[in-house]
Structure 1
Amino acid sequence: MQRYESYKPTTIEWASKIPADWRVQPIRALFKERKEKNKGPKTDFILSVMKDIGIIPYDEKGNIGNKKSENIENYKVVYPGDLVVNKMNAIIGSLGISRFHGALSQVYFVLYPKDLSRTNHKYLGYLFKVRPFQQSLIKISKGMMELRESIEFDEFKKLVLPVPPRDEQDRIVAFLDQKTAEIDAAIMKKERLIELLNEQRSIQTNRAVTLGLDRAAPLRNGESEWIESVPEHWEIVPLKHISTVQSGVTLGKNFVLSKSTKSYPYLRVANVQDGYINLSTVTEIILPIREAKNYLLRAGNILVTEGGDIDKLGRGNCWDGQIEECLHQNHVFAVRILKRVRPEFVALITGVSYARRYFTTTANKTTNLASTNKTKLGNLPVLVPPLSEQDAILDFCNKSKTKYAKIIDSVAKEISALKDMKSSLIAEAVAGRIRV
């Protein structure tokens, strides 16, 4: 990449030198605040700002972040080309130039370019994606936690930016539009590859767990609305016939406290993820020792989630006793297998297609939420191959998981490298370190 002929120093931390013919201007010289309220309302098209993505329709963000207010007349109106800044999350990338006309909540600043004849709003949009710029916002923020600090608007307006001549802005935008589109296309292909790899592994696991490894084995009717066919020498039994299901401790319950109390680690739904136990954050609870005995986990327990969002419904993973004297909350069931089936095999069953369909169909549902209970969990149909087959299936699935995880990790690293390349390219171009 070429560089500019000469540079001059600036007071900008993340762009200490810029091309000699570029200007340095404060945000207030480039933008005005838009204070238009959504009275009427003027629009019911609600927007949101996502980290590292920018402004998107609210309906596309999924079940993330704050919920939409029922009264949208106090929302701020946004037009294409407006700069939108989430004053609570701009530090982590929740800001950008809008492509939409809509409205969003009062937690956002909305600004519009003063003079589009001198500034290309897409150039400014790229500029606000620069990570060092976002990190510089920490100095004008107030709050207790880094990710929830609030930007002071008066200080935000004073921040200075590198501003090239308009024709140079246009060249930078054209260059970045092309290059970032190429990188995004490469990222999408690799993300799709990961989806296909996960689908392929899921198909292999599903077939192994429900039909076994011997493709020549004769099948019989599953005699169940959940299971179409099964190897004829396998059995199907309700989970309750081969296990006990233990409920967890209810937070907020009034226990009779005594001198014999103790602080215990306990697992929540967030700890029981799809395919693994996440112990990065484990909460503690103080309970009477006598009471805590009712909720202690034992190695070999299968942890099954009660629900919440649909993806949290009926997730099952084996507990290996990683933490001593660990409890579980009431939204996580602890299943103890008594006979005939490996706990790890039952944990695999909770993730295959017929079990997912069982949990989803029998769940108690409200808007966007679903939950199961102890009775329904106990009625889950469990496939029971001979123990030797269970061991062979577990070995096959573990090897398959390791093989696919290695490939997926390699592709994920390639995606990360492409994202770093994209971020670096944007930063280099908008700061004038390369000439396009």
Structure 2
Amino acid sequence: MTFPKYPEYKDSGVEWLGEVPAHWEIKPLKYVATYNDEVLPESTPDDYPIKYVEISDVDDQLGITGWSEHSFSSAPSRARRVLKNGDVLISTVRTYLRAIAPVIEPPENLVGSTGFAAIRPVLGVYHFALLGYTLRAEWFISHIIARSVGVSYPAINASDLAALPLPVPPWKEQQSIAAFLDHETARIDALVKEQQRLIELLKDKRQAVISHAVTKGLDPDAPMKDSGVEWLGEVPAHWGIVKFLRCVKIAEGQVDPKLEEYREKILIAPNHVESATGRVLSLETAESQGAESGKYVCRAGDVAYSKIRPALRKACVVDKEVLCSADMYPLRPLINLTSDYLLWSILSEPFSRLTALESERVAMPKINRESLNEIYMAVPPLEEQASISDHISQETQRLDQLTSIATEAIELLSERRSALISAAVTGKIDVRGWKAEKHSEQPEVLMAAEERATYA
């Protein structure tokens, strides 16, 4: 779908706005909206109920994502900004977080942090829905961030924010632009949700592939037996059922990462490993991480496994000697077990569920050596372990590729959404003649996303 341009433009006089339609005006925000109009007075009754929105509850794409409930007396002292329908919240602190969102049909007693500027459009001067789009346009957010002062805690004064210039179309045109953006962004958002749902389905499928292969094998006609282990259920009759300590050695003995022989070695910690995939996200040496406390040595072929929060399934096979954090176990497969099969077993849903259950018995979720050693493992013959590992690798790679396609589609849709908003609120496209059509032609990027969803 393409849109015409306006017949005539003029220089806005604002470098980062460029040209705007000739009949539009350029005004400071404070000429079309007020800010911080209402605050809760200190005389508010102690039992007055508050729904409190803080900076972490606001996202420039998703809007207000939640709030916490308090009485006035128990609420944070910064819970003071009274919010009304049509307001736009803009964080004036840590502006790089891009915490900007319109307030749409808020619940009763919604209150924002004093870390926000609550912008309220002047009735009949600037349309509330259009203001929500304009203040979230990329060029506006960029200039809020650029004008913020401070390194670790950049902030902008509400008065400086209110002085930023905005393009101001005639009132009727504002209504048309707002209606257009409401319709088009809703269509894009719906496609994004479909792609997100697809990603979740692919994650579930990935997990199912792993779990089935390491507990049931690849041959659907193989005779089965009761494993005698609740979390395993039935397994192929020719598989062995052995305790973890019989097929895996949990390496012991920590080393000093500051010693010359260790400080240049790669140090893997849980934060370096992607949850549930076995992929290492980044590699850093012990020295570059400033490591000081004791670490374990992982040999090539060991599986580094995070004992902290095992439900996150953070484990990976190491291909050379490295160090691993004291929050991880170096798991060394014994002669009857391969490294890859051990990894996939650890990443399986049943194993993860069991270790998570064991870890909940302590304050910080953690699986200890004793509990890990007592877990029973299903162990196929070595040749079958290799076949199962190859099958899982191929299937997960295929599913990961589809996930990447869906992720790329979301990125393209998000870019399209942002570009559409910026173009409409600055007059780069003329939507005065636009009418919502039930079966209107999809923009090219939306069609591409839908085709990918169908393919997946």
Match of 2:11 in 1: 9
Whether contact under 8 Å (2:298, 2:304) holds in the other structure is no
Alignment of 1:22 with 2:28, yes or no, is no
Match of 2:64 in 1: 55
Which residue identity lines up with residue 315 of structure 1 in the other structure? K
The alpha-carbon deviation at position 247 of structure 1 amounts to 6.1
Moved more, 91-100 or 164-173: 91-100
Once residues 359 and 270 of structure 2 are traced to their aligned partners in structure 1, the CA distance between those partners, rounded to angstroms, is: 16
Q: Point out the structure with the larger strand share.
A: 1
Match of 1:278 in 2: 281
Match of 1:298 in 2: 299
Q: Give the alignment partner of residue 157 of structure 1, picking from 156, 162, 173.
A: 162
The alpha-carbon deviation at position 41 of structure 1 amounts to 5.6
Which residue identity lines up with residue 380 of structure 2 in the other structure? P
Distance 1:87-1:239 versus aligned 2 partners, 3 A rule:
farther
Whether contact under 8 Å (2:298, 2:330) holds in the other structure is yes
Whether contact under 8 Å (1:248, 1:295) holds in the other structure is yes
Alignment of 1:346 with 2:353, yes or no, is no
Match of 2:114 in 1: 106
Once residues 198 and 210 of structure 1 are traced to their aligned partners in structure 2, the CA distance between those partners, rounded to angstroms, is: 19
The alpha-carbon deviation at position 348 of structure 1 amounts to 0.6
Distance 1:128-1:202 versus aligned 2 partners, 3 A rule:
same
The alpha-carbon deviation at position 280 of structure 1 amounts to 5.7
* 1:390-435 deviations in Å (ceiling 9; x for gaps): 0000111111122222222223222222221111111110011111
Once residues 372 and 165 of structure 2 are traced to their aligned partners in structure 1, the CA distance between those partners, rounded to angstroms, is: 59
Match of 2:408 in 1: 413
Moved more, 335-344 or 358-367: 358-367
Distance 1:246-1:110 versus aligned 2 partners, 3 A rule:
farther
Alignment of 1:397 with 2:403, yes or no, is no
Whether contact under 8 Å (1:249, 1:329) holds in the other structure is no
Instruction: Please provide the CA RMSD for this pair.
Output: 2.9
Moved more, 8-17 or 351-360: 8-17
Match of 2:360 in 1: 364
Whether contact under 8 Å (1:249, 1:328) holds in the other structure is no
Alignment of 1:11-410 (within 5 A): 11-29=13-31, 30-34=33-37, 36-37=39-40, 39=44, 40=46, 42-47=48-53, 48-58=57-67, 71-76=75-80, 77-99=82-104, 100-101=106-107, 102-113=110-121, 115-144=122-151, 149-246=154-251, 262=263, 265-274=266-275, 275=277, 276-279=279-282, 284-287=289-292, 295-308=296-309, 311-312=311-312, 314-321=313-320, 326-364=322-360, 370-410=365-405
- Partner SS, residue 240 of structure 1: helix
* 1:145-189 deviations in Å (ceiling 9; x for gaps): 5xx522233321211111112211110111111111111112222
Distance 1:227-1:119 versus aligned 2 partners, 3 A rule:
same
Once residues 261 and 212 of structure 2 are traced to their aligned partners in structure 1, the CA distance between those partners, rounded to angstroms, is: 50
The alpha-carbon deviation at position 311 of structure 1 amounts to 4.7
Once residues 403 and 260 of structure 2 are traced to their aligned partners in structure 1, the CA distance between those partners, rounded to angstroms, is: 51
Distance 1:266-1:58 versus aligned 2 partners, 3 A rule:
farther
The alpha-carbon deviation at position 278 of structure 1 amounts to 1.4
Once residues 305 and 148 of structure 2 are traced to their aligned partners in structure 1, the CA distance between those partners, rounded to angstroms, is: 42
The alpha-carbon deviation at position 286 of structure 1 amounts to 4.9
Identity %: 24
- Partner SS, residue 180 of structure 2: helix
Q: Give the alignment partner of residue 428 of structure 1, picking from 423, 426, 433.
A: 423
* 1:274-324 deviations in Å (ceiling 9; x for gaps): 21111166652355xxx96x622221121111234x753x43221222xx6
Gap runs ≥5 in structure 1: 61-68
- Partner SS, residue 341 of structure 1: coil
Once residues 297 and 363 of structure 1 are traced to their aligned partners in structure 2, the CA distance between those partners, rounded to angstroms, is: 23
- Partner SS, residue 410 of structure 2: helix
Give the TM-score normalised by the residue count of structure 2.
0.82
How many corresponding residue pairs?
411
Gap runs ≥5 in structure 2: 432-456
Whether contact under 8 Å (1:140, 1:152) holds in the other structure is no
Match of 1:65 in 2: none
Once residues 386 and 259 of structure 1 are traced to their aligned partners in structure 2, the CA distance between those partners, rounded to angstroms, is: 42
